[in-house]
Structure 1
Amino acid sequence: MSNSLEAKIVVLGSQGVGKTSLVHRYVKNAFTPPTTQSTVGASFLTKRVVDIDTSTVVRLQIWDTAGQERFRSISKLYYRGANAAVLCYDITDPYSFDEMGRWFKELKTNLGEDVVLHVVGTKSDVVAEDPAKRKVPFERCIEYVAENLYPTQNGPPHSAQTSGWGSVPAVFHTGGMASPQSNRSSGFWGQDLGWDCCHEISAKDGEGVDEVFRVITRKLVEQQQKKLEEEQRQYAMAGVTPAMDNNGNVAGYFDYPGNGNGSFRLGTGDKRRSWLGFPTTPAVAVHQQDWEEDINRVQKSKSGRCC
């Protein structure tokens, strides 16, 4: 069975932080210098990837948005319906970090709790060449995310739970934070901490770029799996079984007869989902209804007869 999903990722941040360079490095494996003309409005590129663990084919629609203030009033048009957001700031520019915070709070207010969120510090190559140019410590990024996503937590939490607006990130622990000079990034990339919300990357040499989108894709796939598991639970509670495949086995929700391999479009609040809605499905609902009507007709035809 080959599952598939389509998801929208929006890249936000102030002008000049390297949003276009980030997107082009990931999609085209090419570096777009900062001197390139600024993005006007928004544009998007697509990339098809495969989640190895589940063999899920994922089509990412990555939106590169303008950072100029004059486009701020129409920004909602670009991030509406986004399944994930990458909030960028320049680690050599403290103002860009403040601007990232504005986007952060705006998304938290306007998007659903299931939106996958990543905060990305750009231009780590600049700091690698001259550590004195770093103006935003990575610790500041983590502290900001903790304070704004998890305001009820007093101090760094330690338990390992899944990410989300209200969950506790396992990345906050008592272990020593990597210094800016070590690995040019957080030092957490090589650790299985269960929560990868903050990254530092270099679009110039590509360091960390693939990792950002790999983690985002993995979380999107996990969301899909949880939705399907919930649907299966709803079916079980309703006493309805999924469709059967040609071998008489229970088919997956992407394998209804006559439909081939289905697709699953993720959407905030399930507003953009395909025909995979619960508590019934086309393949099951139609046959279930026909079966009940046949039983009723037989019962009515026998009423009043002696034999």
Structure 2
Amino acid sequence: MAQYDLNPGKEADYTCKIIILGDKGVGKTCVIQRFTDNVFSFNQMPTITMDIKSRLLYVNGKLCKLKIWDTAGQERFRSITSNYYRGSHGVIVVYDITDKKSFEHVTRWMDNFDQLVKDDVIRLLIGNKSDLKKERMVKEHQGQKVGQLYANI
């Protein structure tokens, strides 16, 4: 089980590069900020090209540093962000449960990533904005079905 590191000055046993992908406005930066800093912002500015956040965790007694690369979701930055995929240990694809198009684009994000990263990487699919249940356009079982498809690669 993972735990927060209480000694941030200690050198990590492992460093893992994680890329977070998804359409603009799905909440990639908010997911990262919540995970790394335990902060939530309603008025998040769009990410321009890329930003990196870190978090230290103990996993099975080893200190792991997660370096999470937050990419821009706009089409014009797609060619730039694909250069950052190489060397990744994992990918997180985020879609907005209130935006059917962002869910339909999950396949494109995953396939694009898989073309550039040949290594065996961990894949995580996040349906974000679950607090907006009344506006939900993507059913839970739909997200689970796509998640299982990419879990078996």
Answer yes or no: same fold by TM over 0.5.
Answer: yes
C-alpha deviation, 1:113, in angstroms: 4.5
What residue number does 2:142 align with? Answer: 140
Quick check: 1:79 aligned with 2:85? Answer: yes
Q: Distance in 2 between matches of 1:30 and 1:146?
A: 29
Gaps of 5+ in 1: 150-162, 166-307
Paired residues in the alignment total: 143
What residue number does 1:29 align with? Answer: 38
CA RMSD of aligned residues (A): 1.8
C-alpha deviation, 1:135, in angstroms: 0.5
Residue type at the aligned position of 1:62: I
Q: Distance in 1 between matches of 2:141 and 2:61?
A: 35
What residue number does 1:120 align with? Answer: 126
Residues 187-220 of structure 1, C-alpha deviations (whole Å, 9 max, x = no match): xxxxxxxxxxxxxxxxxxxxxxxxxxxxxxxxxx
Quick check: 1:20 aligned with 2:29? Answer: yes
Divergent runs of 4+, >3 A: none
C-alpha deviation, 1:109, in angstroms: 2.2
What residue number does 1:46 align with? Answer: 54
Q: Distance in 2 between matches of 1:139 and 1:126?
A: 17
C-alpha deviation, 1:142, in angstroms: 2.3
Gaps of 5+ in 2: 1-11
5 Å-filtered alignment, 1:214-253, equals none
Q: 2:99 aligns with which of 69, 72, 93?
A: 93
C-alpha deviation, 1:164, in angstroms: 5.4
Residue type at the aligned position of 2:117: L
C-alpha deviation, 1:30, in angstroms: 0.5
Is the strand fraction higher in 1 or 2?
Answer: 2
- Alpha carbons of structure 1 residues 12 and 55: separation in structure 2 relative to 1, 3 Å: same
Residue type at the aligned position of 2:32: V
C-alpha deviation, 1:9, in angstroms: 0.6
5 Å-filtered alignment, 1:200-219, equals none
Of structures 1 and 2, the one with the larger relative CO (CA 8 A, separation 6+) is 2
C-alpha deviation, 1:146, in angstroms: 3.8
- Alpha carbons of structure 1 residues 82 and 7: separation in structure 2 relative to 1, 3 Å: same
* TM-score, normalization by structure 1: 0.44
Q: SS where residue 102 of structure 2 aligns?
A: helix
5 Å-filtered alignment, 1:259-298, equals none
* TM-score, normalization by structure 2: 0.86
Q: Distance in 1 between matches of 2:40 and 2:27?
A: 10
Q: Distance in 1 between matches of 2:152 and 2:100?
A: 26
Q: SS where residue 80 of structure 1 aligns?
A: coil
What residue number does 1:170 align with? Answer: none
Q: Distance in 2 between matches of 1:138 and 1:82?
A: 28
Q: Distance in 2 between matches of 1:164 and 1:115?
A: 11
* Contact 2:82/2:113 (<8 A) preserved: no
Is the helix fraction higher in 1 or 2?
Answer: 1
5 Å-filtered alignment, 1:133-172, equals 133-147=135-149, 149=150, 165=153
